[in-house]
Structure 1
Amino acid sequence: MIDQHSLRSHVLADFGATAAQAQELLVYNQNIFNHNTLNHSIQFPLPPEAHLAAWEEYALAARVLGTFEALKRVLVQLKFPIVEGISQTQTYRDATRKGVAVDGMTEATGLVLQQPQKLQLLLHQSLAGTIPVLLTENRDDFVSLVQALTKRNEPQAIPASMGACMVSGFNNWDRIRQYRQKWEAESFANRYPSSWQEEFQQLIPQKELYQDKFIILSGGSYSNVSAKDMELEESQWQRLSLTIRLEHECTHYFTRRLFNSMRNNILDELIADYRGIVVATGFYRADWCLRFLGLESFPDYREGGRLQNYRGQPPLSDGAFEILQALVKAAAENLQCFHAEYSEDLTDTNMQPLMLMGLTFLTLEELASQEAKFRIQQTLDKLQTVFTV
């Protein structure tokens, strides 16, 4: 059988890629999901990660104080406003990098939200385990939260087509403080500052003890696509949008936990949109996925579609980006054909995680090829013989 690299090269040639464009796309579309650490007796949903215990405490506090007030007490970034250059100040660095208390810091005037009372903290059960979700219906508040928690409180632009953000590797100083309090209570000798510095160095490699994963989610139309364009009632589209957006982000969490990868890449997005659409509607619609990405009038691309958010670093050339658009269209349509043919099997709860796992073994070129159905089925057959889910 032809090897994967040769197959990908043939597919790119069939789609009209020049040698230079093919080389760009072979690099961009390289599959980097790490499948070597998979446990062959996986049980879904996966057990919760260590940080969930702290977020369960935050959820309890949120019921009493309100979500925003409860989180401002524990997430240091929420104690600072969105101001250009603030991340370069010494006080901000001390607070976010060293865990220095913000009391008395003149810059710590607090994050400003338009509708703080509407911020919600949900603990959502996903295939990859329960994950905290910060949900706001206010677009400006969503942008502010993303800037505070992922952009170091800098006013960096957030694309209008972006309605959710998966946060991973978030250093939670509240958990570190809780760890220190518990550790110091174990022995009087632990109360010396020098002892804590030694313990802190031991703590740093154990990232599960202080790094969190959570989702920031907005209300509104998915991918900034209107209900009119979807030919749906506004209320119906808002409900569907929330489900698609949430399951989309949970799929990124799924690949991050299982395969140690969660990229700003179109393959990740195809897989995540597949899951979101299927959960929301019960079946997969390629036309929805293509509209979300700006490809509803292919070969014309709609400026502002999500696809341009995943052009890569360095960005794909214009020619390679056009080939990418054609690959995405073919892949989405092939995925719809496969799902339609095996829809009964794919509704089985055991098959749903296997399907997501299976898609991570493939490349965009394979999904866009004429052999896509065979490749997906072959991968699923292998997974079913290896994994007990």
Structure 2
Amino acid sequence: MKYTFPVFALFLSLFLLGCKMTQDNQNYTLYVGTYTEGDSEGIYEYQFNPKTGAMKSKILAAPLNNPSFIKLSPDKKYLYSVMETDEFEGSTGGVMAYRINEKGGLIEIGPKASVGAHPCHIAISDDGKFLAAASYTGGSASIFKLNIDGALQQDPQFIDLKVLDTIKTSHAHSAAFTEDGLFIADLGLDAVKRYKNKEGQFVPNVQATINLPDGAGPRHFTFNNKGNQLFVINELNSTITSFKREGSGTYTVMQTVNTLDENFAGDSYCADIHLSEDGKFLYGSNRGENTIVIFKVDENSGKLTLVGRESVHGDWPRNFALDPSGNFLLVANQKSNNIVVFKRDSEDGTLRFLHEIELPSPVCLEFLEIL
């Protein structure tokens, strides 16, 4: 059948319009990890609209005990969750693996004991071959090798941080794999520990410890896009410390800034930290002051300048996340049982409250962009 040009043009226009409508209606899948001591039952799933910031279609994606931290694999095919407990298989916490189907649903692959008690964080190497689970009470990290099907292998490498320091009590709180190896923030040791991969085993790096002041309590951390600056948020003294990576591969202190308003007089504890995709703004959460603090990152020097802080419209902002578009910031308020959505201004970094939804004990937010 032959079409005249006007008819062909009409079909083309309708096709392009359909593609645009599909793109405009494309939602992100948002997974939410929770604590299950109350009314929560595990990992929840929402559909998030990157045009409006609306959240809908809540479902229980996976029943699980205390999935307080969840992490997607780099290829977005698998989701991993801690089971923050000391009762899995009798005396430890656990890590659960899920395969993600084409609609974003979670299909259980299977659990493994984390060796350490109360695992609270997961990191996955960029090549998808290693998973590190940091255990808070256990003061340790377990390094699992991952199979090609996403399953965790048996017999993980166990790094016992307690034996490295006999004065302070170890509380491993987060981890990350980089080109420099494995980094582990230890809140109890006031240090970020460094390891390098040596034939599949992680051993202390040349600069084995990045020290922070006594009582700082380093909790979470992030790197800039160039990989030459490290930002550590300290839970106990409510500060953010930035480090510069020297040519030798060692990290030295650049700057420490307070996260709380100078007039705030109550107790507050930092939790999470994230950098905007363009590297221009750094965000941190304050539990107690109940705010997100905002800093501008100088493009040349990397120095932090306070932009301001925004109320989280709730209590105890545990973790928060920037959506893949970078236009929204979502906060999980653990004690007030709500998730708050902010519109983010990419020019000045500020946040504008949009709306909130109720969910029991939300803790961790993880976006999956399905294209």
- TM-score scaled to structure 2, two decimals? 0.28
Computing the radius of gyration from Cα coordinates, the structure with the larger value is 1
Higher RCO, 1 vs 2 (CA within 8 Å, ≥6 residues apart): 1
TM-score after normalising by structure 1: 0.27
